[in-house]
Amino acid sequence: MSRENYGMMNQEIQDDEVTIDLMELFSALWAKKTIIILSAVFMALVAFVGTKMFVTPKYTSVTKLFVMTKNDDTSASATYTDLQTGSMLTKDYMELVKSRPVLEKTISKLKLDVTPEELVDMITTETPDDTRIMSISVTDDDPKEAKQIADTLRKAVSVQITEIMNADSVNTVEEGNLPTSPSSPNVKKNMMLGALLGLIISMGFVVLIFILDDTVKTPDDVEKYLGLNVLTSIPIQEGSSAPKRAKQQRESRNAVKSRR
- Residue 249 pLDDT > 80: no
Greater confidence (108 vs 76) lies with 108
Contacts of 153 (CB under 8 A, 6+ apart): 63, 97, 102, 106, 123, 136, 138
The CATH fold assigned to 59-71+78-174 is Alpha-Beta Plaits (3.30.70)
Q: So where are the chain's domains?
A: 22-52+187-213, 59-71+78-174
Long-range contacts of 90-96, Cβ-Cβ distance < 8 Å, separation of 24 or more: 90/127, 90/131, 90/132, 90/133, 90/134, 91/127, 92/165, 93/67, 93/134, 93/157, 93/161, 93/165, 94/125, 94/126, 94/127, 94/134, 96/157, 96/160, 96/161, 96/164, 96/165
Task: Give the Cα separation of 60 and 209 in Å (integer).
Answer: 47
60 bridge partner residues: 139
Dihedral of the alpha carbons of 93, 98, 102, 106, in degrees to the nearest 10: 130
Q: What is the pLDDT of residue 75?
A: 46
Greater confidence (236 vs 215) lies with 215
Give the mean pLDDT of the chain. 79
Confidence of residue 1 (pLDDT cuts 50, 70, 90): very low
Confidence of residue 19 (pLDDT cuts 50, 70, 90): very low
- Residue 139 pLDDT > 90: yes
Confidence of residue 198 (pLDDT cuts 50, 70, 90): very high
Listed range (45-59, 61-75, 81-95) with the worst mean pLDDT: 81-95
- Residue 214 pLDDT > 50: yes
Q: What is the pLDDT of residue 213?
A: 75
Q: What is the pLDDT of residue 76?
A: 44
For the segment 131-159, the average pLDDT, to the nearest whole number, is 93
Q: What is the pLDDT of residue 253?
A: 52
Among 192, 207, 212, smallest CA distance to 36 is for 207
Tens of pLDDT, residues 3-15: 455 445 455 444 4
Q: What is the pLDDT of residue 210?
A: 84
If 0-12 CB within 10 Å is exposed, 13-18 middle and 19+ buried, where does residue 202 land? Answer: buried
Among 168, 169, 166, 134, smallest CA distance to 153 is for 134
